[in-house]
Amino acid sequence: MSKKIKWGVIGCGGIAARRTIPEFKQMVTNAELVSVMDLDLQRAKEVAAQFDVPHFCATEAELLAQDLQAVYIATPPNVHCRQTVQAAQAGKHILCEKPIAITVDEVDQMEAACAKAGVKFMLAWCMRQNVLNKKMRELVQAGALGKLVMGRAQLTCWYPPIPGAWRQDVAISHGGAMLDMGTHCLDLLEWLMDTTIVEVTGFTDLLVHKYATRIEDTSTILARFRNGAHGIIDNYFNVPDAATQNALELFGTKGSIIARGTIGQDPTGEMFSILQAQETGYDANQVRDTEANRQDYKLEPIGIYGQMITLFTDCILQDRQPPESLANGRHSVQVVNAIYQAARERRVVEVGA
Ligand SMILES: NC(=O)c1ccc[n+]([C@@H]2O[C@H](COP(=O)([O-])OP(=O)(O)OC[C@H]3O[C@@H](n4cnc5c(N)ncnc54)[C@H](O)[C@@H]3O)[C@@H](O)[C@H]2O)c1
């Protein structure tokens, strides 16, 4: 039997218990889950019992002393840096949830610790794993859209005030809908179009909810990519779940690829393209025959969190660097900082300036 990498989980809350651990247990064949840790020991105990994990504990030190090679960090973002550094110092490879950290300086500390320990780091950009999003990237890379003109990514949910919720405590979350959900969208557009965001502007507001501290529930961002294309990234905590579209749309000189519901925790969604082989002549009537070139894509959904565990485990086993790297995470923090600065100062801000 081939070797399995042993994993531990730090933070057994919402995403870990709802998606990552269940998909780990159901789908992953190259790794095994041997320990779970949560500040709340009872929580760790329940998750261990539910998913048949042999060991549970309430401290990083106890988890990191276990016989395991990799950890999944799924705690609030204000402790990602500290826990990454601790895990690296213990010689563990790290899969860390988004947002990677709060500041660029934190990312630098994480990078230094991983480099010194010679361990791998992967950022949990799970939306890249949706099979339809992968197909969209494949089409873009094959040149199907011609010159890229615009990409739009939307992720929204209904998120009312909840006492004690860390996302609503700005001292822990450091941002609202844009940081929590927009980071997925920003990364996805860059990855799909194989480019990076160089300039941003936009609005972030608190329109609806009475949160305990001030975080935005409404974020509408404009971006310019290095390849010249524009981006629209819209994230709201105040639109009913059933009404949202979670739209992902790319437009280019040869057509468009349109998806609904492929940004989200479910591995499902719908996608179609309207593509033409050549750029066409001018038609003053602007006739829109949307059926002639329409193609629908039907692919079997595969759990995106389970795929992430498999992918990172393969990187460890084959000693290769995951694409979702610390450099990618540092850039993400710079984009977030530029967006909040742009919103605050009501202007266009260069990323990393
Ligand atoms: N990739 C995705 O699709 C996705 C979805 C949701 C959340 N997330 C990210 O995952 C992380 C966790 O979010 P969540 O929604 O699961 O939060 P959550 O509050 O539901 O769970 C967090 C868990 O971490 C525990 N915890 C808090 N501080 C800790 C510490 N210092 N050490 C150990 N455990 C600690 C809490 O007790 C809780 O059980 C966040 O970074 C979030 O942005 C990612």
346 in a structural domain: no
Mark whether 67 and 158 lie in a shared domain: no
Same domain, yes or no, for 28 and 166?
Answer: no
Report the separation in Å between the CA atom of 164 and the middle of ligand 1, taken as the mean of its atom positions. Answer: 13
Q: At 344, which amino acid appears?
A: R
The number of the ligand 1 atom at minimal distance from the alpha carbon of 10 is 33
Total domain count for the chain?
A: 2
Q: Are residues 143 and 277 in the same domain?
A: yes
Cis omega (within 30 of 0) for bond into 99: yes
Ligand 1 atom 39, closest CA: 13
Q: Which amino acid is at 341?
A: Q
**Main-chain dihedrals φ then ψ at residue 150, nearest 5 degrees:** -155, 140
According to the model, what pLDDT value does residue 278 have? 80
CA–CA distance, 127 with 133 (Å, rounded to integer): 8
Nearest to 226 by CA among 198, 206, 186: 198
In a domain, 343, yes or no: no
Question: Is 142 in the same domain as 285?
Answer: yes
- SS in 3 state form for the chain? CCCCEEEEEECCCHHHHHHHHHHHHHHCCCEEEEEEECCCHHHHHHHHHHCCCCEEECCHHHHHCCCCCEEEECCCHHHHHHHHHHHHHCCCEEEECCCCCCCHHHHHHHHHHHHHHCCCEEECCHHHHCHHHHHHHHHHHCCCCCCEEEEEEECCCECCCCCCCHHHCHHHHCCCHHHHHHHHHHHHHHHHHCCCEEEEEEEEECCCCCCCCCCCCEEEEEEEECCCCEEEEEEECECCHHHCCCEEEEEECCEEEEEECCCCCCCCCEEEEEECCCCCCCCCCCCCCCCCCEEEECCCCCCHHHHHHHHHHHHHHCCCCCCCCHHHHHHHHHHHHHHHHHHHHCCCEECCC
pLDDT averages per 10-residue partition of the chain, 353 residues: 89 97 98 98 98 98 98 98 98 98 97 98 98 98 97 98 96 97 98 98 97 97 98 98 95 97 97 89 77 92 98 97 92 98 98 87
- What is the sign of the dihedral through the CA atoms of 250, 251, 257 and 259? positive
User: Is residue 283 included in any domain, yes or no?
Assistant: yes
Q: Is residue 332 part of a domain?
A: no
Pocket of ligand 1 (CB under 6 A): 10-16, 38-40, 43, 74-77, 79, 97-98, 124, 126, 166, 180, 265
Closest-CA residue, ligand 1 atom 7, reads 15
For residue 204, the model assigns a pLDDT of 98
Measure the CA angle with vertex 305, ends 303 and 307; round to 5°.
70
pLDDT of residue 1: 53
Which two tokens mark 195? Answer: 């480019």
pTM: 0.97
Read off the CATH number of the domain in which 255 is found.
3.30.360.10
Ligand 1 centroid to 221 CA: how many Å? 25
Residue 126 CA: nearest ligand 1 atom is 1
Task: Say yes or no: 149 and 120 in one domain.
Answer: no
So what's the pLDDT on residue 280? 76
Ligand 1 centre from 72 Cα, in Å? 11
Do residue 142 and residue 273 come from a single domain?
yes
Structure tokens at 17: 């218990």
336 found inside a domain: no
Same domain, 243 and 291: yes
Closest by CA position to 175, among listed 73, 107, 106, 102: 102
Indicate if 59 and 136 belong to the same structural domain: no
| Closest-CA residue to 271 (of 246, 292, 240) | 246
Task: Say yes or no: 257 and 319 in one domain.
Answer: no
* Cβ(310)–Cβ(26) below 8 Å: no
CATH code for the domain of 43 = 3.40.50.720
Q: Is residue 148 part of a domain?
A: yes
Q: Report the candidate in 174, 226, 231, 236 with the shortest Cα–Cα distance to residue 204.
A: 236
- Could you tell me the residue range of the domain that residue 281 belongs to? 131-263+268-301
| Same-domain check for residues 152 and 294 | yes
Distances 3 to 30, 64, 69, 301, 318 between C-alpha atoms, Å: 7, 20, 12, 27, 11
> Are residues 315 and 292 both part of a single domain?
no
Please report the pLDDT score of residue 156 as a whole number.
97
